[in-house]
Structures are given as structure tokens and as C-alpha cells.
Amino acid sequence: MRRSKWKAFDINLVPNRSTIIVPEMIDKSFVVENGNSTRTIKITSDHVGHRLGEFYNSRISPVYKTKKKVRK
């Protein structure tokens, strides 16, 4: 059974999140993982010079509970 043509786009699994994005990577898709899951990132000209790990966080920001005010 063959895969349909619309699923056959260029995806590369990135072995390292610290890979620096160079201009040759523009308009390509890369799969970046954060330890738990993976995400496909399409590279644009705004991403050049940054690292691939910057676009997919590996840590969750904490949400603190607030105290309920008691009315008197």
C-alpha cells in the first residue's frame, strides 16, 4: 500500500535541539522533540540565527494558586 503524495513532504528528525538554523534550512520542516513529545516546525526567514530548541519549550511554566479572600 502506497502513501498518498500529500503526506510526502520533507521532514527531518533533529538529533540535537541546539542546532543553529542557517539560511539553507528555510522552507523545510524539522521534527523537534522535548523529551515527552515531538512537534513539526517549519523554518522561515525569521528563525535564522536561532536554535531549534527555542521554538519548543521543554519545561512547563508554573501556575501558582491564589488565596481566596474571606469577606467579613
Residue boundaries of the structural domains of the chain: 18-55
Phi and psi angles of residue 40, each rounded to the nearest 5 degrees, phi first: -90, 130
- Predicted TM-score (pTM) of this structure: 0.63
Q: Which CATH architecture has domain 18-55?
A: 2-Layer Sandwich (3.30)
User: 51 and 17 in contact (C-beta within 8 Å)?
Assistant: yes
Mind listing the pLDDT tens digit of every residue in the chain (72 residues)? 555 555 545 566 666 888 899 999 898 888 888 888 888 888 999 999 999 888 888 888 888 888 777 777
